[in-house]
Amino acid sequence: MAKSDTEVLKYRDESYDFRDTDTSWGVHGIHPYPAMMVYPIARRLIKEYSKEGGVVLDPFMGSGTVLVESILHSRNCIGADLNPLALLIANAKKTYIPAKKLYDSIVKILSKKENFEYSAPDFFNINFWFKEYVIDNLARLKAKISVIKDEDIKRFFLVAFSETVRICSNTRTGEFKLLRIKVLEKHNPNVFSTFERIASRNIKKLLETYNHQPHTSAEAIEADSRYDIPDLQPSAIDLVLTSPPYGDSKTTVAYGQFSRLSLQWLGNEEVTVDKDSLGGSPTESLDTDIPSETVRVIIGKIKELDSKRARQVLSFYIDLFACFENIKRYLKRGGYICLVVGNRRVKRITIPTDSIVVELLNALGYVHTKTILREIPSKRMPWANSPTNIIGAKEKTMNEENIIIMQKES
């Protein structure tokens, strides 16, 4: 059978695997975040598809990999995300702070002399997710950070606090979903020494990344990329570089679940990230006019097996198309869009998101330059999921991803 145009322009390139690179170098290793873009990919694409002084947009910014690489390579950058935890981490990672200020502050936070008024938060199920003494210590630690006046420094230490919350909670390590440790007797974390270790590591990472204020600007905006991005002018962008979610939060990566405990400790009572993300609510019907024949074929196949699942999957692609329509006006004519996407499986059917993205963007006036297939050496993605919703039944869903490059012609 003849290959489609999309397949002809798709090839494997081992130089994009970055097997021997420490992908947690510098600030890229501050705070875990699900499905992070590995920084050498961002770096290479920024250098290849934009110029110094140009403006890069990441509409699914996450922890800010593209923001950081942009300023490190003299580009300006705007990042948007609807997850407040992503905003906190990205803002901390892109902000240079002189070493002395950081060391002075950590000494104050860890000093035992000062007495602080503090009170523990009271969110739903707090005692299920944290031991009593951990709640008390986290509350004391947070009060000590909250008195810092300089907003950049306070944010920097709140990021270390958020990671401390994760480690000292009763959740299982290495999981992005909220799952509780089965045997809690042996889980007795020390809040202050955990914080000291994380904060000291973060200081080291910030200092190995920046030794002066970057010359270009990076702005992280809390926004839903399906709609207007506040203050962004039409045709302001030279390059869109992003890794969208792999699918709806419920059945792929639950950014909201991942962020919930940290956000609650940081004062966000209601966390609606998963509901608000792409594909957050299933469509009412299975009709769609989005310009992708592949979506129609795939939805037809999933519908035969599970109609609700088909509506969830469809809703994700409708929302993704809404983002593409919205972003288009910000990109200059002739500018490039580079997307890192994985092809997930639903009901044992592989969904070729890379072909779908090409079809959707073709319909909006972009021309496909190429798709690079890379293997993912890292073990940090939740590659295995449950194909049948049976706990423990795992299926390998993704160990490679596609880097799609397209140019805006009209």
Ligand X SMILES: C[S@@+](CC[C@H](N)C(=O)[O-])C[C@H]1O[C@@H](n2cnc3c(N)ncnc32)[C@H](O)[C@@H]1O
Instruction: Count Cβ atoms below 10 Å from residue 119 Cβ, excluding itself.
Output: 9
Q: Decide if residue 243 touches ligand X (CB under 6 A).
A: yes
Residue 159 binds ligand X (CB under 6 A): no
User: With binding defined as CB under 6 A, does residue 81 bind ligand X?
Assistant: yes
Does 355 contact ligand X by CB under 6 A? no
Q: Does 225 bind ligand X (CB under 6 A)?
A: yes
The one-letter amino acid code at 28 reads: H
Contact 102, 156 (CB under 8 A): yes
- The residue among 263 and 273 lying less far from ligand X, judged by its C-beta, is 273
Q: Is 255 in the site for ligand X (CB under 6 A)?
A: yes
- Subset of 265-284 contacting ligand X (CB under 6 A): 273, 277-278
Residue number of the CB closest to ligand X reads 62
Out of 6, 70, 83, 353, the only residue in the binding site for ligand X (CB under 6 A) is 83
Torsional sign, CA 383, 65, 404, 320: positive
Closer residue to ligand X (CB): 148 or 221: 221
Nearer to ligand X, 81 or 238 (CB): 81
> Per CB under 6 A, does 63 bind ligand X?
yes
In whole angstroms, how close is the CB of 162 to ligand X at the nearest point? 14
Residue written as tokens 């999933």?
302
Output 247 or 335, the one with its CB closest to ligand X. Answer: 247
Round to whole Å and give the CA distance between 103 and 85: 24
Round to whole Å and give the CA distance between 343 and 383: 11
Residue 369 phi, psi (nearest 5): -85, -55
Contact between 254 and ligand X per CB under 6 A: no
Taking CB under 6 A as the rule, which mask of x and - marks residues 24-53 in contact with ligand X?
---------x-xxx----------------
Residue whose CB is less far from ligand X, 93 or 144: 93
Residue 359 to residue 295: CA distance in whole angstroms: 10
Q: In this complex, which beta carbon is closest to ligand X, that of residue 59 or of residue 352? A: 59
The binding site for ligand X (CB under 6 A) comprises 33, 35-37, 60, 62-63, 65, 80-83, 86, 224-226, 243, 245, 255, 273, 277-278
